[in-house]
Amino acid sequence: MEFFLKACSIGFLLSVMIGPVFFILLETSIRRGFRAAVAFDLGVLVSDAIYILLAKIFIEEVSRLDTTENKALFGFIGGTLFILYGFYNFFKKYQISEETELEASDKGKIDYFKLCLKGFVLNIANPLVIFYWFSVITLANQSVGNKANDFKLFVFLAVVLVTFFVFDLLKIIGAKQLKPLMTPYLFRGMNRLIGIVFFFFGLFLILQKYLKV
């Protein structure tokens, strides 16, 4: 029981962490609906699974990257992508009407694959993700014990991911309830806020070497 409680606790903590993807997930839920947000979140989940696999296979290399100049390089690449996306989101134009309906494009067919790919790209572009999954794997190794086999470690990490996804679903459901209150003007403000968040997060990734973070 302690094994599963610890895994669930880690999954919950990761889910409530407020990062750039968090805001996109809420915006997607409000604007495009439950299934669209789930598709986006599945992309995030796949990228997390890939990062877990990389962190597990190359655990020694990841450990070295976390303490060398290579981390600054990854931060610069990821930070640049986040800044560019932040500018795009901030200046993206929306058609404003007196009706409370959203963009006309939202009424059409939603491309769930593109949303899934968007979640995958935005999450995998964040170099901090692999480092916090490296920390999670370290905690997992401590939890399962030195004599544990890979299957037990896999179960622990699977519980973390499932818990993470379940709490994301709760966030999606909660955000969707706000849809009747949203107007095109509020949506434009929300997307500008997302743009600002992405810009400063990207700036943080680039400058973290100098900030001693």
Q: What is the mean pLDDT of residues 86-95?
A: 68
What is the per-residue pLDDT across 121-168, written as a single tens digit (0 to 9) for each?
988 887 777 777 877 887 777 766 655 567 788 888 889 899 989 998
Q: Is residue 7 part of a domain?
A: no
- The burial of 60, by beta-carbon neighbours within 10 Å (0-12 exposed, 13-18 middle, 19 or more buried), is given as exposed
Question: Is 88 inside any structural domain?
Answer: yes
Are 157 and 74 spatial neighbours (Cβ–Cβ below 8 Å)? no
Locate all alpha helices (DSSP H) within 33-181, ordered by sequence: 34-57, 59-65, 70-91, 112-124, 128-144, 150-176
Structure tokens at 99: 């009706």
Distance of CA 34 to the CA centre of its chain: 17
- pTM of structure: 0.71
Domain encompassing residue 36: 16-144+173-211
Is pLDDT at 60 greater than 80 in this prediction? no
Cα distances (Å, whole numbers) of residue 63 to 55, 60, 130, 133: 9, 5, 10, 11
Contact of 104 with 181, CB cutoff 8 Å: no
Which has more confidence, 124 or 211? 124
The token pair that represents 58 in the structure block: 């190359």
Confidence grade of residue 113 (pLDDT, cut at 50, 70, 90): very high
**Per the domain annotation, does 206 fall within a domain?**
yes
73: confidence class by pLDDT, cuts 50, 70, 90: low
At which residue do the structure tokens 């895994």 appear?
7
Per-residue model confidence (pLDDT) at position 62: 57
Residue 128 lies in a domain: yes
Between 100 and 160, name the one with better pLDDT: 160
* Domain-located, residue 35: yes
Cα-Cα end-to-end distance for the chain: 35
Say how many domains are in the chain: 1
Kindly report, residue by residue over 41-58, the tens digit of the pLDDT: 999 999 999 988 887 777
Residue 98: predicted pLDDT: 41
